[in-house]
Amino acid sequence: MSAPARAFTMRHVQLLRALFAAVAALMITFSSDHSAPVGLSVFSGFVFLTALVHVLAAWLVLPAGSRWPSVLLAAVGVVAGLVSGIPVWRSDDLFFVVVSSWAIVSGGIELLAGIRSRRAGGMLSRDAISVGALGVLLGIALLLIPSGFLQEYTIDEAGTFVLSGIILGVGMFGGYAAIVAVFLGIAGLTPKQADAVTTASDSNDSTAPAEHGGER
């Protein structure tokens, strides 16, 4: 891998993912509107940007043979982003279908990749397993919210309010994004773990000529 390409490492991948997750969490947290259009617009931007990071990771960081999770995660993110990015389609039902499907599929991919990496002694397996499990849990939680859920509640001296399923769903996605942001931010700021893949990739690149007949 060339020196300019190597300037982009696994640490940058984790920190960028943490940054985009933090932005999504903040946008939802500080928005008084937790409707499907708002939730899907934030989700669409989040998954598109995260997919771009996965593409960069597969292209510039990960060694051959270890790129399939990032490629699959990028593909799933692009599909979810395209579907949720169409304004006229943004409904409560679409939010639950798209976000829960994305969470379960992408979480499952990352969880599987983490388990395989742990068996091979990978330094970043714990991060992948944790983030993947969070994604699967988000998807399951969204599926458990009843369709058309409405619950009135009263706050003294404030009035009566209605808690709906979409408010819960968008809030859960915001909570997921906040947890992922903190977790990946800490992981990205841990030098030994964040640079483990980079070291392995450099080692593979340096031995490649010998595997093809050695130096001449």
Residues 6+ apart with CB under 8 A from 104: 135, 136, 139, 140
The alpha carbons of the chain give a radius of gyration, in whole angstroms, of 20
The pTM of the full predicted model, rounded to 2 decimals, is 0.84
Which one-letter DSSP state was computed for residue 146?
A: P
pLDDT the model gives residue 36:
94
Counted domains in the chain? 1
Residue 157: which domain range?
A: 10-192
Domain membership of residue 206 (yes or no) is no
* 211: in domain: no
Domain membership flag for residue 205: no
pLDDT at 185 over 60: yes
Instruction: Classify residue 210: in a domain, yes or no.
Output: no
Structure tokens at 10: 């696994």
In a domain, residue 186? The reply is yes
Express as a percent the part of the chain with pLDDT over 70.
82
Q: How confident is the model at residue 40 (pLDDT cuts 50, 70, 90)?
A: very high
Are 170 and 34 in contact by the 8 Å Cβ rule? The answer is yes
Is residue 5 assigned to a domain?
Answer: no
How does DSSP classify residue 8? S
Domain presence at residue 89: yes
Tell me the Ramachandran region of residue 119: left when phi exceeds 0, alpha when psi lies from -120 to 50, beta otherwise.
alpha
Would you tell me how many other CB atoms lie within 10 Å of the CB of residue 210? 9
Q: How far apart are CA 24 and CA 28, in angstroms?
A: 6
Q: Say if 197 falls within a structural domain.
A: no
52-62 pLDDT, tens digit per residue, is 999 999 998 88
Q: How many other β-carbons are positioned within 10 Å of the β-carbon of residue 192?
A: 8
Q: How many CB atoms lie within 10 A of CB 136?
A: 17
Q: pLDDT digits over 113-128, tens only?
A: 999 888 876 666 888 9
Q: What is the pLDDT of residue 213?
A: 47
